[in-house]
Amino acid sequence: MKRYDPGVNERGPGRPRDAAIDARVLEEARRALAAAGYESLSVSAVAEAAGTTRQAVYRRWGSKADLATAAIASMSAAADRPATEDPFADLVEELQAFRRGITRPDGLSMIGTMLLSSADPALVALFRERIVVPRRRRILAILRRARERGLLADDADLPLAVSAFTGSWYAIALAGQAPPRDWPQRIAALIWRGCGGAPQG
Question: Got the DSSP string for 56-101?
Answer: HHHHHSSSHHHHHHHHHHTT--GGGPPP-S-HHHHHHHHHHHHHHH
Residue-range domains of the chain with CATH: 19-73 (1.10.10.60), 78-194 (1.10.357.10)
The per-residue pLDDT for 105 is: 65
CB 161 within 8 A of CB 146: no
pLDDT tens digits, residue range 16-74? Answer: 567 889 999 999 998 898 888 888 899 999 999 999 999 999 999 999 999 999 988 88
CB 192 within 8 A of CB 200: yes
CB 153 within 8 A of CB 191: no
pTM listed for this prediction: 0.80
The per-residue pLDDT for 1 is: 42
* Confidence bin at 171 (pLDDT 50/70/90): very high
pLDDT tens digits, residue range 73-130? Answer: 887 766 677 889 999 999 999 999 989 888 876 666 677 777 677 778 888 899 899 9
The torsion defined by the Cα of 118, 123, 124 and 128, in degrees rounded to 10, comes to -170
The per-residue pLDDT for 82 is: 86
Beta-carbon count within 10 A of 191 CB: 22
* Confidence bin at 7 (pLDDT 50/70/90): very low
The per-residue pLDDT for 106 is: 62
